[in-house]
Structure 1
Amino acid sequence: MLNTVISKALLVTTTQLTMILIAVASIFLVFITIAIIKMYKLKAENKKLMETNAFKDVDESYKDFTSGHLYGDN
């Protein structure tokens, strides 16, 4: 008796299952849309930053010191 009551309570109709799947798909669609928008914004910001002089002003006075005696390259 108890087994049939539990099994009837766990039954899900096709309409209910369809509505649940549509709701879950809608939520994921919103998340994917937000991620795509953020990706394009980050790409635009990265392109803008790469065009500035921040990466073009490299210090040429740096000397390589790794060939010293600590590394065995006498």
Structure 2
Amino acid sequence: MHKNLLSKALIVTTTQLTMILIAVASIFLVFILIAIIKMYKLKSENKKLMQTNAYKDYEESGEDLHSGHLYGDN
């Protein structure tokens, strides 16, 4: 008798399954939206940084990023 009761308790109806899938999909949708918003914020911040004088001065100086002690180019 306990086995029959347990199997009835584990049965998930189509409506319950649909609600669970909608809940999971909405959580993932929120995460995707947050990621997209952060991506655009970082993109705009990067654009602002690229337009600053510090970056232009560094770019015009012609320094090589790879000339450092990590590359054995003392």
- TM tier, shorter chain? 0.7 to 0.9
**SS across alignment from 1:57:** helix
Deviation at 1:54, TM superposition (A): 1.4
Normalised to the residue count of structure 2, the TM-score between the two structures is 0.74
Task: Show the 5 A alignment for 1:45-56.
Answer: 45-56=45-56
Q: Which runs of 5+ in 2 are unaligned?
A: 68-72
**Number of residue-to-residue matches in the alignment:** 64
Is 1:36 equivalent to 2:36 in the alignment? Answer: yes
Q: Which digits, 9 at most, give the CA deviation of each residue in 1:15-49, with x for residues without a partner?
A: 00001100110111011011101100100000110
Normalised to the residue count of structure 1, the TM-score between the two structures is 0.74
Q: Which amino acid aligns with 2:53?
A: N
Structure 2 Cα separation of the partners of residues 4 and 33 of structure 1 = 44
Structure 1 Cα separation of the partners of residues 22 and 7 of structure 2 = 25
Q: RMSD across aligned C-alpha pairs, in angstroms?
A: 2.1
Q: Percent identity?
A: 75
Bigger proportion of residues as helix: 2
Structure 1 Cα separation of the partners of residues 6 and 45 of structure 2 = 56
Deviation at 1:56, TM superposition (A): 2.4
Question: After TM superposition, which residue ranges in structure 1, 4 or more long, deviate above 3 angstroms?
Answer: none
